[in-house]
């Protein structure tokens, strides 16, 4: 069984391996010991903190294989982005150039640098190692966060975003960034991505064009990748779209990958989730569909995928799953179906 739990300080070596595997473009996990240990420390503090409203807390979870005790994935939530460091996007919009006298009317796409998402919550740092990419592991690693946020709503904003990885090749080259590099930055994409990942963002404000960029002036290659996702990110985007996330024209300033958003109460898994007391049994009937299940704790949070049965006002859960969640008879759980009927 795979369980989701908060990251611990002794998970550093596993996190470092995941950071190396994730590659260029995965900004939230730079291959830097000081930064990775800082991320772990900040997460440990966030889980221990008594929160009444969201601030700059950063929660980092891991997926652990109970049989081998290996960490096979990561998943994160930032409670409020841009509160302690500027959070940049490009917004894709339109302007009209028209002359009634000449009977000319042209609609032009422009990219405008902005900080519109400051203060919203972000789901991030989702990475599942190759040997664990099977069954419902990917869905669990992504969707449990919606149950956690629904259970602890005071810790998060109403608007939830996710930045999707844009197009870049095996060498870490981004067609969008290549145009910016040529005209403004004189710095390759891996370097810019790394600097952002370690928190050195001042160069963005210093070197980024101060006025809106006309998309038609970009190279054809750069234009073609605006709002497009990396091949490996397509399943994650599809999963979020099924949950109700959509893009409102915001894209990453480096690779032009889309940022998608949803209101927490409208996210499908959060909306469909239920909270019930449990009864624990040694044997449970295998149901036709499994559920994503979490306990209602913070510092001792656990999440699993398991079968549930129902009896009056109680959810019936197997002993193995109860042990994994750290719950017993009479405790509460929150759960949601792994799949929805279309």
The pLDDT assigned to 148 comes to 98
Counts for the chain of helices (H) and strands (E), in that order: 10, 16
DSSP 184: I
Query: Could you tell me how far CA 276 lies from the centroid of its own chain?
Result: 27
Q: Which domains does the chain have, with CATH numbers?
A: 2-89+115-268 (3.40.630.30), 273-337 (2.40.40.20)
Block means of pLDDT (10 residues each) for the chain, length 342 residues? 96 93 71 89 97 95 94 96 88 92 92 94 93 92 97 97 88 82 75 66 71 92 94 89 96 92 97 95 71 97 94 91 96 94 66
- Whether 266 sits among the annotated catalytic residues: the reply is no
How would you classify the pairing of strands 121-128 and 159-163? parallel
Tell me which of 91, 183, 230, 266 is the catalytic residue: 230
CA separation for the pair 57, 163 (Å, rounded): 18
pLDDT confidence of residue 114: 92
At residue 200, the pLDDT reads 64
Determine the Cα angle at 61 with ends 55 and 67, to 5°.
165
């Amino acid at each position: 069984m795979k369980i989701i739990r908060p990251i611990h300080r002794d998970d550093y070596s596993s996190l470092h391996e995941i950071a190396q595997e994730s590659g260029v473009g995965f900004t939230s996990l730079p291959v830097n010991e000081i930064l990775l240990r800082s991320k772990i420390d900040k997460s440990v503090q966030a889980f221990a903190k008594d929160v009444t409203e969201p601030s700059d807390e950063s929660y980092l979870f891991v997926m652990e294989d109970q049989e081998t005790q290996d960490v096979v994935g990561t998943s994160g939530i930032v409670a409020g982005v841009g509160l302690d460091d500027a959070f940049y996007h490009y917004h894709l919009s339109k302007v009209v150039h028209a002359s009634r006298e000449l009977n000319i009317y042209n609609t032009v796409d422009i990219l405008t640098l902005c900080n519109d998402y400051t203060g919203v919550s972000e789901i991030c740092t989702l990475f599942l190692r190759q040997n664990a990419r099977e069954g419902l592991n990917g869905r669990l690693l992504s969707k449990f966060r919606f149950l956690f946020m629904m259970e602890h709503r005071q810790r998060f904003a109403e608007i939830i975003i996710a930045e999707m990885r844009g197009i870049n090749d095996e060498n870490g080259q981004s067609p969008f960034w290549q145009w910016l590099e040529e005209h403004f930055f004189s710095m390759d994409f891996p370097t810019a991505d790394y600097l952002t990942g370690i928190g050195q963002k001042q160069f963005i404000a210093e070197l980024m064009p101060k006025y809106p960029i006309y998309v038609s002036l970009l190279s054809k290659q750069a234009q073609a990748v605006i709002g497009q996702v990396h091949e490996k990110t397509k399943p994650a985007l599809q999963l979020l779209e099924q949950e109700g996330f959509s893009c409102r024209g915001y894209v990453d300033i480096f690779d032009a990958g889309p940022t998608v958003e949803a209101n927490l109460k409208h996210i499908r898994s959060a909306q469909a989730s239920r909270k019930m007391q449990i009864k624990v049994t040694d044997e449970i009937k295998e149901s036709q569909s499994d559920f994503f299940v979490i306990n209602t704790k913070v510092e001792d949070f656990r999440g699993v995928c398991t079968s549930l049965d129902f009896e009056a006002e109680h959810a019936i859960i197997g002993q193995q799953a109860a042990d994994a969640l750290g719950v017993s008879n009479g405790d509460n759980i929150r759960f949601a179906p792994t799949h929805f009927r279309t």
